[in-house]
Structure 1
Amino acid sequence: MSDKNYYSTECKWQDTTPGGIIIDTGNAREFKTGDWRTAKPVWDDKKCKNCFLCWAFCPDMSIVVEDEKVKGIDYDHCKGCGLCAAQCKFDAIQLVEE
């Protein structure tokens, strides 16, 4: 972590970290980034054919896979971008507003 105190009253606005940005690399799993989303993907296991297109396109690695099958969505880290729903050819994932 930087020595710079981002919460100091002496800190200029130009030196502050923009909200919602993780400044350290490789640490996104430490934060529940899913709190930022306004829509969430809802997965229907009956329609899912386990083609893994949703898994391949998810930028947050939020598609949960166990035993070579999709098991659900990690809502703690899903940001609701909708890429998984857009890629699903079987309508197994629908994006709904929260």
Structure 2
Amino acid sequence: MSHYAPDAKYQELAPGGIIPQAGNAEEYSTGAWRLQKPVRRDEDCIDCMFCWVYCPDNACWTKDQSVKGLQFDYDHCKGCAICAQVCPKKCIDMVPEDQES
């Protein structure tokens, strides 16, 4: 049996989703099929970190856990645009993937 499938029958499992190895997508690139990517306008950013809070793929990160210097991890960003939608200053633009940042 796969190491992802438990050895229990479905009746014995808790209702709802089961994520046996949360975060295992960290090991490989998942953003290759993205059509648009987020680009932040630094001069308009107020460092609220809403993009970091709401990103479902943990693709917004900072160096040394400081608020300044937010970056996007394009290897894991899927282009969902949630970061751009929640930004109160609208300083994150979604640009075509083939466009330079």
Q: What TM-score do you get using the length of structure 1 for normalisation?
A: 0.70
The structure 2 residue matched to 1:61, chosen from 58, 63, 84, is 58
Q: Among the aligned pairs, what percent are the same residue?
A: 46
Rounded to whole Å, the distance in 1 between the matches of 2:2 and 2:34 is 28
Deviates more, 1:23-32 or 1:83-92: 23-32
| Residue 77 of structure 1: how far off its partner (Å) | 0.5
Consecutive unaligned residues of structure 1, counting only runs of 5 or more, are 4-22
| Residue 47 of structure 1: how far off its partner (Å) | 1.1
C-alpha distance after superposition, 1:19-67 (max 9, x if no partner):
xxxx973311011001121111111111111001111110011111232
Structure with the higher strand share, 1 or 2: 1
Which residue number corresponds to residue 6 of structure 2? none
Which residue number corresponds to residue 25 of structure 1? 21
* Number of equivalences: 79
Q: CA RMSD in A?
A: 2.1
Consecutive unaligned residues of structure 2, counting only runs of 5 or more, are 4-18
Q: What TM-score do you get using the length of structure 2 for normalisation?
A: 0.68
Which residue number corresponds to residue 81 of structure 2? 82
Rounded to whole Å, the distance in 2 between the matches of 1:76 and 1:82 is 15
Rounded to whole Å, the distance in 2 between the matches of 1:70 and 1:94 is 17
The runs of at least 4 aligned residues of structure 1 exceeding 3 Å deviation read: none
Q: 1:24 to 1:79 in 2, by over 3 A?
A: farther
